[in-house]
Amino acid sequence: MEHKTPWNNIGDMIKDHAKKFKDKPYLIYCEDNSKISFAEFDEITNKVANTLLDLGLKKGEKVSAILPNSLELLYAMFGAFKIGAVFSPMNINLLAEEYEYLINDSGSKVVFVDSKNLIKIEKIRKNLSSLKEIISIEEKNRTKGIKLFKDEIEKYSSELKSQNITLSSEALIIYSSGTTGKPKGVILTHENLITCSMSVGRFLSLKENTISLDSLPLFFIGGIMPTLFTTTCVGGTVVINKKFSKSLFWKRIEEYKINYTLLVPTMLSILLNPPEDISKYNLKSLKYILSSAAPLPVELMKKFEKEFNFNIFEAYGLTEDTAWVTMTPIDLKKRKPGSVGIAMDINEIKIVDDNDKEVPLNSKGEVLAKGSQIMKCYHNKPDLTKETLKNGWLHTGDIGYLDKNNYLYIIDRKKDLIIKGGENISPTEIDAVLYKHPNVVDAATIGIPDEMYGEEIKAFVVLKKGKKATETELIDFCQKHLAKHKCPKSISFIDKIPKGPSGKLLRRELIERDKDKS
């Protein structure tokens, strides 16, 4: 269980790789095929680090980024790591009022943006009490006082003085939807990221000649782990997609000689419907396709493997455990379809009852995890942190069981989160928006099965007596207050929302009711 890390922090890792691998390509950006070596990356991120220091950033202070997958996003991320700042990548598809909450909650001093989201930040600028500087990666929409990334960093040295950063220093704050409504900030440390990355590398036997393809958004822990960070740790090359593309997926596997990639189940479905004839490509380099972030139906896995003749290896975890705590063995003889695999070599897994007492093998209970990749805390939420990390174990909120060989099976979610296309969505946040409509007296949102996304969003609404509203009207109302991917696809009107004696909303009853009607 004990595995030593060769670096004290992420910055030291990049510095070591720059010395060892020098001009070897580290990043390849698919949009323009630009290549950045380890040495170049070290120098550019040193410039970003010096820029942030000159802006007054100190260790532990927050830096946000609202950027699509891009080289600039990675320069900003690793530049922040190098000075001990805590980097917060944010979903690029949110509304201005959602960014207002996230930036204020994190206390971010600097935000990196693209031209599209710059407009949103300008709109709420006066409400962002902690924000000192906005740095745009594009000239478009830039107004007076907004710094331009490429011009700003060129003012600074590519040499960086030693910083006092340790493995326990905070590195990331990733906002994850919670059942209580507003997103909560998960704090991950340098140790969390390095040890989890190295464990995945050992599990997959990755070496410095590894080439990975990262198609998931980098504001999502699944985009950061493992295809970015694990490949970085072993000194490999990371190919970055701006976004997932069905039409270019197999072509890029061939073009860049990709060894492994991570896809959420929705992406597997997209590739299958309809499937491309891949016989025209040379795909001999591809060893692993990994899947996580949402439950992988066994039938989907079987269809994909039969169609494309590539095996899927499932993993399981949360943002709170740096993405993964279990992985499917790469030995096909040891793989068990339906299982999310066995514990990684840096953590333990156990199943407990409602009293936190461990249950026998093959018995259902809540999945708990303990290891060096478990988060430090929730940002500014000590009570929730204490509850979630009770007795030193991460309480995942997922229900599962371990078989006689300690393979983990996930069978349900204790929490109410909706997982749509691999992204966690809080039903309470949607409820709160529906409550704002003048004709709505009560509302409850659930996830319903969806072949493409895993789950789709459905809301149940009770209208005020004598008032009217249509499904289209309420969906349009939601779209004015929430990012599109969070909005209900359908709305049903009912007389009463089911609740328990204490007034607690009984979403499970709505889920069962919807199943009965379908």
What CATH number is attached to the domain comprising 443? 3.30.300.30
Query: For residue 444, is it within any domain?
Result: yes
Q: Distance between CA atoms of 376 and 389, rounded to whole angstroms?
A: 9
Query: For residue 207, is it within any domain?
Result: no
pTM of the model: 0.88
Q: Distance between CA atoms of 352 and 121, rounded to whole angstroms?
A: 44
Average pLDDT over residues 80-86: 98
- Model confidence over 136-168: pLDDT tens digits? 999 999 999 999 999 999 999 999 999 999 999
Give whole-number Cα distances, 79 to 8, 158, 388, 496, in Å.
16, 11, 31, 52
Q: What pLDDT is stored for residue 516 in this prediction?
A: 79
Q: What pLDDT is stored for residue 295 in this prediction?
A: 82
Q: What pLDDT is stored for residue 518 in this prediction?
A: 65
Q: Which amino acid is at 388?
A: T
Query: For residue 139, is it within any domain?
Result: no
How confident is residue 59, by pLDDT bands cut at 50, 70 and 90?
very high
Q: Which amino acid is at 91?
A: N
Q: What is the DSSP letter of 146?
A: P
Q: Distance between CA atoms of 171 and 108, rounded to whole angstroms?
A: 14
Half-sphere exposure of 466 (CA within 13 A, CB side): 0
What percent of the chain has a predicted confidence (pLDDT) above 70? 98
Q: Distance between CA atoms of 157 and 45, rounded to whole angstroms?
A: 10
How confident is residue 499, by pLDDT bands cut at 50, 70 and 90?
confident
Query: For residue 476, is it within any domain?
Result: yes
- Model confidence over 422-451: pLDDT tens digits? 888 888 889 989 989 999 988 999 999 998
- Model confidence over 287-324: pLDDT tens digits? 999 999 888 888 899 999 999 999 999 999 999 999 99
Query: For residue 493, is it within any domain?
Result: yes
Enclosing domain of residue 441? 418-517
Q: What pLDDT is stored for residue 432 in this prediction?
A: 86
Give whole-number Cα distances, 452 to 264, 299, 484, 513, in Å.
11, 13, 17, 22
Mean of pLDDT over the chain: 94
- Model confidence over 350-380: pLDDT tens digits? 999 989 999 999 999 999 999 999 999 999 9
Q: What pLDDT is stored for residue 261 in this prediction?
A: 98
Query: For residue 324, is it within any domain?
Result: no
Query: For residue 52, is it within any domain?
Result: no
Query: For residue 141, is it within any domain?
Result: no
Which residues make Cβ contacts (< 8 Å) with residue 246, sequence separation at least 6?
A: 270, 271, 276
- Model confidence over 211-255: pLDDT tens digits? 999 999 999 999 999 999 999 999 999 999 999 999 999 999 999
Counted domains in the chain: 1
